[in-house]
């Protein structure tokens, strides 16, 4: 299938308003990782500030945002490998999130399993790991919706499992058109949920997360599972949940 030709002018005419909360999942370790190195909360603050001073700068537009929002936009560090809408190298950041918590959990469960697919000698963990789900309020008048016409007609390109070339090319043109969010269908969520690729901190309507949840995600020979403490929820991802992805298909499920 040949790549579609979308010019900045054409994409500008497709920009739409978007306003809603979106969810992202991160390892809970981000809250306590430095505490083991110090003896008090005051010392932790000093250490965190020293570490922050050594890291690349944020774009000016991200200045007042919570660090969990603005971290993907740091400048000065090469992005190690490409993602759906971001090329590898010294490229502008993208904040990936999902419109529903379960879709965000599906994304994390996939990448947890991908790690073990690529590490066939690594034994399955005994216990699940703790993750924090948090929501961010987004509001913009410059959103591109890949799930609606006319962009939806190229859904087969936008939903490729491993070849992100078409999406990265679209992302480049979207930035030229000054798009702030790209809405696209999740290829991990069996319920057909949607994700949001935030291209600019200007799309964050609030500086702080709106809500937080605690999830525990476990992986093993039967697949993956996720449990939310409050409000209670649980979801399973069997061996076949992500089998269509060629990176997961050769998984060595039987291991210690």
User: Residue ranges per domain, the chain?
Assistant: 8-30+98-237
Mean of the pLDDT values across residues 26-48? 62
Decide if pLDDT at 34 tops 50. Answer: yes
pLDDT digits (tens, 9 = 90+) for 65-119: 998 999 999 877 789 889 999 999 999 999 999 999 999 999 999 999 999 999 9
pTM value is 0.90
pLDDT digits (tens, 9 = 90+) for 125-141: 999 999 999 999 999 99
Decide if pLDDT at 2 tops 80. Answer: no
Tokens of 211: 């809500």
């Amino acid at each position: 299938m040949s790549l579609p030709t979308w010019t900045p002018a054409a994409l500008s005419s497709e920009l739409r308003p978007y306003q809603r909360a979106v969810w992202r999942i991160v390892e809970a370790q981000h809250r306590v990782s430095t505490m083991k190195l110090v003896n008090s909360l005051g010392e932790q603050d000093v250490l965190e500030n020293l570490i922050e001073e050594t890291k690349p700068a944020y774009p000016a537009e991200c200045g007042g945002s919570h660090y969990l929002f603005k971290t993907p936009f740091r400048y000065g560090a090469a992005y190690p490998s490409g993602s759906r809408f971001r090329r590898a190298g010294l490229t502008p950041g993208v904040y990936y999130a999902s419109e529903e918590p379960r879709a965000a959990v599906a994304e994390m469960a996939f990448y947890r399993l991908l790690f073990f697919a690529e590490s066939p000698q690594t034994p399955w963990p005994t216990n699940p790991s703790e993750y924090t789900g948090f929501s961010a309020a987004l509001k913009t008048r410059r959103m591109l919706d890949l799930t609606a016409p006319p962009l939806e007609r190229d859904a087969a390109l936008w939903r490729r499992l491993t070849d992100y070339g078409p999406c990265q090319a679209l992302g480049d043109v979207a930035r030229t058109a000054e798009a702030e969010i790209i809405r696209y269908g999740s290829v991990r969520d069996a319920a057909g949920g949607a994700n949001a690729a935030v291209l600019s901190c200007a799309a964050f309507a609030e500086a702080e997360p709106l809500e937080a949840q605690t999830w525990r995600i476990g992986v093993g020979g039967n697949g993956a599972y996720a449990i939310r403490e409050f409000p209670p929820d649980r979801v399973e991802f069997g061996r076949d949940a992500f089998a269509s992805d060629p990176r997961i298909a050769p998984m060595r499920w039987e291991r210690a």
